[in-house]
Every structure is written in structure tokens, then in C-alpha cells.
Amino acid sequence: MLSVSGRESLVDTAVRTSKSGYMQRRLINAMDDLKVWNDGQQSVRNTANRIIQFQFGEDGIDPCRSLKGKPVNVEQILDDVLGGGN
């Protein structure tokens, strides 16, 4: 009985992985020709130079420089931690 449950779990994981992998591949292909332009607004454009979004992420916040959706000043944090900039 235990081995049957283990096999079901493996099959479920394999099916979920294939479905999520398929969706990831579709999203990557759909967004393959998009680029963020350095035009002051960080607009997103395709290879034909058509605007897809006027502002990157629609809110202008870089996910790498945010905490819970709010912008974070990385330079200020580094100055606080390293004791520089005083």
C-alpha cells in the first residue's frame, strides 16, 4: 500500500512538472522579443519598436530593488550597513 502511494506521488509530480514546464516555455516564447528601453520611463517595447508597456512592470518598481512591492534604496541600505556616506 505504501509503494502505491509513493508511485502516485511521483506520477503527480511528473504531470505537474510537465504542465508548469509547458507554461514556462510558452511564456518565454511569447515574451522573447520584448526589451526594456532606457528612455526615462523604462518602457517595454518589442523588436518592431512598438510600446507594449509605457512603464516597466506598470509601476516602475524594479523587483530586484523592492521589498513587498515597495521601492528600496539599495545605496542607502549599503551606506547604513557599511557605515559609509556620512
- What would the pLDDT profile of 46-77 be if each residue is shown by its tens digit? 989 998 888 877 776 777 777 777 778 788 88
- The overall average pLDDT reported for the chain is 79
- Which backbone phi and psi does 85 adopt, to 5 degrees? 80, 10
pLDDT at 10 over 60: yes
